Structure 1
Amino acid sequence: MESKLAFTKDTIFTIALVIFWYSSNIGVLLLNKYLLSNYGFKYPIFLTMCHMTACALLSYIGIAWLKMAPMQRIQSRHQFLKVFALSVIFSVSVVGGNISLRFLPVSFNQAVGATTPFFTALFAYFISFKREAWVTYATLVPVVAGVIIASGGEPSFHLYGFLMCICATAARALKSVLQGLLLSSDGEKLDSMNLLLYMAPIAVLVLLPAVLTIEPKVMEVCVALARQDKVIVFLLVVNSSMAYLVNLTNFLVTKHTSALTLQVLGNAKGAVAVVVSIILFRNPISFIGMAGYTLTVIGVVLYGESKRRWK
């Protein structure tokens, strides 16, 4: 009876984690879109810096005070430089993604973002000379073909937004590959929460000059907006906190399930985000665009399955 009760509690806890993971991932994506596009807050670099500031503060509270993960220290200057490089790439990926949301609907943004496996395989091959089975490479054909089809059928296609989304996706894949290479030794490995703890404040320092140069009037605009509509302050705080929750729930779901489960949930998350965004923002869609996105998702699922079987 006790074991059955424990099983039930564990199941409920896991389901609750997955719900929080879905809510935070889709929530931050939709709120980013609302702020940057619908609300008219045209400062994606500053928004990213807000995200990183929240991640830095909440990571420290979560690890140092709440003990959500054991604190891991940076062991050397060499390790710090590796974390710094990853932080810069991480910043580029988040900024690129936020910029793309200013110009692209969430549905198309997710379609392009689904090509991450293609860039991961590409960087792994050219940087670490890691080769996959031919079947794995074959599954990347529908991944890329789907985005090409979706691009041709996207009513709201915007070239600059598309290029920024590609850059964000490539940077995300590059970080994944380099993280496995740079922090591969036992003495340098950091779990995702500790890595975020060190990357986030570095990202803030990297983004600050960019904000001052490219978005110099953002603070003035924020103060003016706050005086007119205090909701903007609430939205920025909630949005930034959710950015941290995305990383926290990623860590917890992986810890309590598996990386494969997270991958499967991630594939479904993109489809859910697309449906919710279309309902909320009512952006125009086309049959060709949705067919292209569907083909990409099928390719991503096949890619994950081939990686698992040919490991």
Structure 2
Amino acid sequence: MKQPSSNLFTVGIVASWYSSNIGVLLLNKYLLSNYGFKYPIFLTMCHMTACSLLSYVAIAWLKLVPMQTIRSRVQFFKISALSLIFCVSVVLGNVSLRFLPVSFNQAIGATTPFFTAVFAYLMTFKREAWLTYLTLLPVVTGVVIASGGEPSFHLFGFIMCIAATAARALKSVVQSILLSSEGEKLNSMNLLLYMAPIAVVFLLPATLIMERNVVGITLALARDDFRIIWYLLFNSALAYFVNLTNFLVTKHTSALTLQVLGNAKGAVAVVVSILIFRNPVSVTGMLGYTLTVIGVILYSEAKKRAKAV
């Protein structure tokens, strides 16, 4: 794939990344909470099915990136383990959106660096500089403050969101351990190509057991309001687009730019969600979230400086 150097192209990719990330988050919230489609596992399975099909189209047909093959049974089992953790994180995140506003969901999600540092230490005994750990204090403190000042606080939703955030962090740590050798490294597009179908295999029995007759219920809903089908199709396609644009942003910008954009994305999502859903927010909650974002920025800066030494 050619690498256009135009600034306009880069701006377009970043705008697409923001739009798809925030769009899928808001649409998930709308479907699971406002619309009343209370089937987060089935919704996640729709996402993974779309990612399976569109990943194959993008790599095998459009050749956006060269196809990488799975080289061994061991590598396949490693990818399967990653896929299971990924499934758990997405399902728990979708469950939390049934009970929590997007703004609070994003505040909790910003604590990912804290869990990443914890899992990295527990699993690899990798220690960061003391200053890096110090920057995690405002990250956690901010969420504690935001929780205390959140008008729509829901304990079960909070636990699900914390668990989803921890699972996301665990996936990134496990991925760096399992696929660290040169022969096993896969770019994110190829990793999704293999992870998504495995995720569908995990999610199908979970959907059949825990969300019985969801297909029949969805079809019955569609007879009354056909828009539900379009919502699900668009939402699923958008879930793949999140991964595609994330890959393109990573490819066409620096790691530092990606960190800065990622930190800002959460804040943008909070503002947009409050404007759309008009969920009540408190000054205490916003101060807590702001403190968390500042902590994440300081953490990124501390890690960058530690690497430079």
CA distance in 1, matches of 2:170, 2:254: 22
Cα displacement (A) at 1:262: 1.4
Counterpart AA for 1:203: A
Q: Give TM-score, length-normalised by structure 2.
A: 0.98
Q: Over aligned residue pairs, what C-alpha RMSD do you find?
A: 1.0
Query: 2:230 aligned with 1:234, yes or no?
Result: yes
Give me the whole-angstrom Cα distance separating, in 1, the residues matched to 2:290 and 2:244: 29
In 2: Cα distance, 1:166 partner to 1:259 partner = 26
Distance 1:88 1:186 in 2: 23
Match of 2:121 among 105, 125, 129: 125
Residue in structure 2 matched with residue 62 of structure 1 by the alignment: 58
In 2, the alpha carbon distance for the partners of 1:124 and 1:198 equals 24
Structure 2 segments unaligned to the other structure (5+ residues)? none
- One-letter amino acid of the structure 2 residue matched with residue 74 of structure 1: I
Q: Once the two structures are superposed, what CA deviation does each residue of 1:56-112 show, in whole Å capped at 9, x if it has no partner?
A: 000000000001111000000000000000000000000010000000000000000
Which residue identity is paired with 1:42? K
Question: Which of 48, 71, 74 matches 1:75?
Answer: 71
Amino acid aligned to 1:295:
L
CA distance in structure 2 between the partners assigned to 1:90 and 1:259 by the alignment: 22
Residue 137 of structure 1, aligned match among 121, 133, 136: 133
> Matched residue of 1:189: which SS?
coil
Distance 1:237 1:216 in 2: 21
Gaps of 5+ in 1: 1-6
Give the match for residue 94 of structure 1. Answer: 90
Q: Does 1:287 align with 2:283?
A: yes
> What SS does the corresponding residue of 1:310 show, helix, strand or coil?
helix
Q: Distance in 2 between matches of 1:159 and 1:214?
A: 21
Correspondence 1:188-267 to 2 at 5 A: 188-267=184-263
Tell me which stretches of 4 or more aligned residues in structure 1 moved more than 2 Å: none
| Aligned-partner residue type, residue 206 of structure 2 | A
For residues 51 and 4 of structure 2, the distance between their equivalents in structure 1, rounded to whole angstroms, comes to 32
Matched, 1:272 2:268: yes
**1:294 partner letter:** T
Which residue identity is paired with 1:122?
Answer: V
Percent of pairs with identical residues: 74
How many residues align? The count is: 305
Cα shift at 1:258: 1.9
Amino acid at match of 1:55: C
How far did residue 217 of structure 1 move?
2.0
Inter-partner Cα distance in structure 2 for 1:212 and 1:175: 25
Residue deviations 1:175-194 (CA, integer Å, cap 9, x gap): 00010010000000000000
